[in-house]
Amino acid sequence: MNAFMTWFYQMSSPPHFYRWAGRAIPWFMWPALILSAVAAYLGLVRSPEDYQMGHTVRIMYVHVPSAWLSMWCYTSMAVASAIGWIWRMKLAHAVAAAIAPAGAALTFLALVTGAIWGKPTWGTYWVWDARLTSELVLLFLFMGVVLLRNAFEDRAQGDRAAAILAIVGVVNVPIIHYSVNWWNTLHQSASVSVAGKSGIDSSMLMPLLLMVLGFTLYLVALILMRTRNEVLLRESRKRWVQELVQS
């Protein structure tokens, strides 16, 4: 058994994960706060205004990270759901349950900031654009996963039902990503490219990437905290949790 599989099976143990996550959270949280503060200063104070959108362009330092991470959250939730459903791993279902509300909040934030950005850019808060509509569908999918999981008295049945919806709904993620290429939309195409040259100046690109990294680290810390709470809730009758409460 290789090192990765050994680590994977160790992490599937709720007590082991709970202890590991408790140690790991500060290593994600503090860098997240520092990076986000630096990125906010560079983006809101030091970076220039856009020649077309003016200071409105600064909304992207919140909109872009939240939009990117909303898709990352759903994909991660679907993967965790698949692992839990196929291998009947309870911890994987706990991770999926922890991700869903965080992903819904990021999706809502992306939609709200996009609407605020759209008003001065497009002259309206909302259009039934392919990118906007598919992102709205993503919000409904997140909410559906949360509601479906809580609709069953039996937690195992709720986990399985939510997992199926999460796995099926993942088809919406590539639709969001490629919608600006597949259809004629008002939403602009991607300005940041990993393989090629980015269509955004370095004075704006650097704080944007720092903000994405800060958002990502904070999101990981938040998911770890929420998963620890899920583990305690699901393992509340186990001896190790009772000993933890009594200590």
Q: Percentage of residues in the chain with pLDDT exceeding 70?
A: 89
Express as a percent the part of the chain with pLDDT over 90.
Answer: 65
Which segment, 50-59, 120-129, 147-156, 197-206, is predicted with the most confidence on average? Answer: 147-156
Quote the CA–CA distance of 145 and 74 in Å, as a whole number.
10
Judge residue 40's burial from the number of C-beta atoms within 10 Å of its C-beta, 0-12 exposed, 13-18 middle, 19 or more buried: middle
List % helix, strand, coil for the chain (3-state, nearest 5).
80, 0, 20
- Segment 167-185 shows an average pLDDT of 86
pTM of structure: 0.92
Q: What mean pLDDT is predicted for residues 53-65?
A: 86
| 54 three-class SS | strand
* Reported confidence tier of residue 193, pLDDT bands at 50, 70, 90: low
